[in-house]
Structure 1
Amino acid sequence: MSIDKVSHRKLVRVFTAIGPYLRELKTCETQYFFDCLSVCASAKASPEVREFWGWWLTLDTQDGEQFEFHYQLGFFDASGEWQLKAIPKKHQAEVTRTLRDFYDKLGVCMDGLALSVRPSIALGTDHLLSPA
């Protein structure tokens, strides 16, 4: 099935149904942007300036049939921007769990639409979403 048969609007609806991951304002017809604020860095800060450890992922397509994902782990700062930073050891398991949970849900959606997804070559062969 191609993007001609699965419209951008339908993909947005399907991806939105996965949960609070899709950032629609950072999405276009050939790239979808997802992220997750997995662990609060400091709950003492007021909600509007809290910072988080987590991940962000882009899902790109050139032909509407084959999708490629690329993710990064890091820090979501008080200004609302992602920074590529090493996740503290005490938070690594939770950040990894949320990324894998999202990827499982994404896989179910893609299978249901008869679309395929693969990792970006930039991720190499040893990444968190590699097959077991």
Structure 2
Amino acid sequence: MALVSGHPKSRLMKGFTALGPYIREGQCSDNHFFFDCLAVCINMQPSPEKREFLGWWIDLEAEEKRYTYTYHLGIFDKAGRWNEEKISEPEAIAKLESSLRAFHQRLRAYIVSLEMTLEPADNFKETPFVLKD
């Protein structure tokens, strides 16, 4: 299946998977791709499947000439759902920013290799981190 960008979806999924353990294939559809990162464990006491994490997620949309993104910061809860939340712990923010920027650089390089551009979505205000190079 070719996307609106003209690239085969299977090729894109292989490329996105090679970027690291971030793509969630089950939450991708047609021209939409979902990436996330569980960056900071909140509590190590519960069993692994019941732990909560601070992290980020990115929604990527394929368009004809570009890919657009929005990103969010928050908590991955015990039920396996993301909840957007303001994070105030400096160490956690530093870890989130570092991992998000590193992934964004790899994502941008891959998108550029497809002769496309990667831009924030038109209605997205990048806070707290601006990811443009």
Normalized against structure 2, the TM-score is what? 0.89
CA distance in 1, matches of 2:73, 2:101: 12
2:83 — aligned with what? 83
Q: Which has the higher contact order (CA 8 A, sep 6+)?
A: 1
Within-5 A mapping of 1:1-132: 3-4=5-6, 6-63=7-64, 65-89=65-89, 90-124=91-125, 127-131=128-132
Identical pairs, percent: 32
Aligned-CA RMSD value: 1.7
**Number of corresponding residues:** 129
Alpha-carbon spacing, 1:126–1:41, altered in 2? closer, same or farther (3 Å): closer
Deviations 1:97-127 (A, max 9, x none): 1111110110111111111110013333665
Q: Unaligned regions of 5+ residues in structure 1, if any? A: none
TM-score by length of 1: 0.89
Q: Hey, what's the Cα distance between the residues in 2 that align with 1:39 and 1:124?
A: 24
Distance across 2 between alignment mates of 1:53 and 1:88 = 11
Question: Which of 120-129 and 33-42 deviates more?
Answer: 120-129
Q: Gaps spanning 5+ residues in structure 2: where?
A: none
Which amino acid counterpart does residue 70 of structure 1 have in structure 2? T
Amino acid across the alignment from 1:9: S
1:61, distance to aligned residue in structure 2 (A): 2.2
Would you identify which runs of 4 or more consecutive aligned residues in structure 1 move more than 6 Å?
none
Q: What do the CA deviations read for 1:63-112 (whole angstroms, capped 9, x no partner)?
A: 2x311000000000010000011123131100111111110110111111
C-alpha contact (below 8 Å) 2:43/2:51 kept by paired residues: yes
